Amino acid sequence: MSAETTTRRFSERTIRQVSLDCRHSMVRGKFCPDRSELAQLRCIDDRFENDQSFGCQLWYFEGWGVDGSDQRHAVYGVVEYSLQYGLHELVEEAVFDSEAQRERFRHLYEREMHHPTWRRPAQRWLAFGVVIMALISLAYLTIVTLA
């Protein structure tokens, strides 16, 4: 099993915890923990925590899962962590039948990482609409109350 990235080496403790969580996700995927094996483990996304937000890590793993009928399946999995005050908090774990399914998960993961910004016209219009509706509602309540 390999566990390395091009930019950072991880501690043995981190690798052990990620491996344990990968095995747990295979169990949740209905594979036998004793006969299934991890073949490769790698960190895909590693964002450090800062004063404004927590960090996060996304790990991919591949391996072989043996189901209840003793059939061997290729397994493509993902484990997501939130880094909070230097601790890894497990957010999500999943096992997929194909790499394409796992890539769809990554696409959703990356969409969650992009926080809304007021630079987008649709979000400015939404905020403007909410303010206008609030003003109309207040005006209506004021008229009804005074009448």
Listed in sequence order, the residues at least 6 apart from 80 whose beta carbon sits closer than 8 Å to its beta carbon are 56, 57, 58, 59, 90, 91, 92, 93, 109
Residue 21 · residue 38 · CB < 8 Å: no
| Averaged pLDDT of the chain | 85
> Does residue 21 lie in a domain region?
yes
> Does residue 144 lie in a domain region?
yes
Task: Please indicate, yes or no, whether residues 75 and 31 belong to a single structural domain of this protein.
Answer: yes
Task: Please indicate, yes or no, whether residues 73 and 137 belong to a single structural domain of this protein.
Answer: no
Whether residue 5 is predicted with pLDDT greater than 50 in this model: the reply is: no
pLDDT band at residue 65 under the 50/70/90 scheme: very high
Per mean pLDDT, which of 6-15, 107-116, 134-143 is the most reliable?
134-143
Listed in sequence order, the residues at least 6 apart from 87 whose beta carbon sits closer than 8 Å to its beta carbon are none
Structure tokens at 51: 């004063």
Weakest-pLDDT range from 52-61, 96-105, 115-124: 115-124
* Secondary structure, 3-state, 28-74: HCCCCCCCCEEEEEEEEEEECCCCCCCEEEEEEEEEEEECCCCCEEE
> Does residue 1 lie in a domain region?
no
> Does residue 7 lie in a domain region?
no
What is the reported pLDDT for 116? 57
Find the domain containing 80 and state its range.
12-115
Task: Please indicate, yes or no, whether residues 145 and 122 belong to a single structural domain of this protein.
Answer: yes
DSSP 8: -
73-105: pLDDT as tens digits: 999 999 999 888 878 888 889 899 899 889 888
19-38: pLDDT as tens digits: 999 999 999 888 998 899 99
Q: What percent of the chain has pLDDT over 90?
A: 37
Listed in sequence order, the residues at least 6 apart from 88 whose beta carbon sits closer than 8 Å to its beta carbon are 14, 17, 57, 81, 82
